[in-house]
Amino acid sequence: MSTATTTTPLSKTPAGAPDPGTGPARALPGEGRIGLRANLRHIGALARRNALQIKQDPESMFDAVLMPIVFILLFVYVFGGAIAGKGNNDAYVNYVTPGLMAMMGMNIAMAVGTGVNEDFKKGVMDRFRTMPIARSSVLIAKIVVEVGRMLIATAILLGMGFLLGMEIKTSVLDLFAAIGLSMVFGASLMWIFILLGLTMKTSQAVQGVAMLVLMPLQFGSSIFAPPTSMPGWLEAFTDYNPLSNLADAARNLVNGGPVAHSVWMTLGWSVLITVVTAPIAVAKFRKKT
């Protein structure tokens, strides 16, 4: 008695095509082109996630809420008399408040670097990198939320300034222009601190390096005092300090004065910082282990 054997013909792989047993069956998550609408949707979802984190941890807003109050009171009442002269606190409020808008951006931006570093330690970023989303959307969502925190800090700063006697000598539109300029520059600085957060091993290291950057830029600028009162070498440094350009632009937009040079310099610095550091930060984000 014979038994019939049936065989199933093997499928042939066309010449030049990858072997399904060895080649990739499909694209890995996140690879391939993501459209603009999808990218914006991803950024919105990730920004919402970051905002919910703040809602669950209100203490993370302490720096944005308390820092502007402490700084304006400290510089107006402790240093204002020495810098502007005793009894000239009102005039100094109009000088220092627009300058502090530039300082708020730098201090809020520093928090982005520590946040990115801590998210990597928790494994959150590893999860994001397995999802079919653009790598840049994760970092841009961070910046969107931090810009919101910066707006809150700036609003509190200006509110305190008005309580202490600050006056708008131009128009409300000029004040909004000064706020917008501060937001643009602050957002560009966040790419620097994101890069630090991706490069340093710990959040403490990020804060330490950030302070080394912040201190010379903040105090070697026109934020707190006119550069004419400084030594010649420091006055020359303030001329090239981007914080001085932002402080002068915001101050002249609020108090009146020439703004074209300082505004264009601030925008130029913002574009330069973003163009140089953003691609490096995204590339570092892709490769970080």
Contact predicate 71/103, CB 8 Å: yes
- Report the alpha-carbon distance of residue 122 to residue 124 in Å, rounded: 6
CA 140 to mean position of chain CA atoms: 9
Residue 248 lies in a domain: yes
Residue 274 lies in a domain: yes
Identify the pLDDT of residue 55: 82
Residue 137 lies in a domain: yes
Q: Which domain holds residue 145?
A: 36-287
- Report the alpha-carbon distance of residue 238 to residue 222 in Å, rounded: 7
Identify the pLDDT of residue 112: 85
Residue 15 lies in a domain: no
Contact predicate 190/270, CB 8 Å: no
- Give the number of C-alpha atoms closer than 13 A to the C-alpha of residue 280, restricted to the C-beta side: 16
Identify the pLDDT of residue 121: 79
Pick from 222, 108, 88: nearest CA to 155: 108
Identify the pLDDT of residue 180: 94
- Report the alpha-carbon distance of residue 212 to residue 115 in Å, rounded: 18
Residue 144 lies in a domain: yes
Pick from 229, 55, 51, 193: nearest CA to 111: 193
**90-94 own/partner pairs: CB under 8 Å, 24+ apart:** 90/164, 90/165, 93/161, 93/164, 93/165, 93/166, 94/165, 94/166, 94/167, 94/169, 94/254, 94/255
Residue 83 lies in a domain: yes
Identify the pLDDT of residue 125: 75
Identify the pLDDT of residue 267: 95
Domain count, the chain: 1
- Report the alpha-carbon distance of residue 98 to residue 62 in Å, rounded: 21
Residue 221 lies in a domain: yes
* 3 token code pair: 């038994």
Pick from 277, 279, 250: nearest CA to 262: 250
Which ranges of the chain have pLDDT less than 70? 1-34, 84-88, 289
Amino acid at 257: G
Residue 1 lies in a domain: no
Cβ atoms within 10 Å, residue 199: 16
Where on the phi/psi map is residue 16: left (φ > 0), alpha (ψ -120 to 50), or beta? left
pTM: 0.80
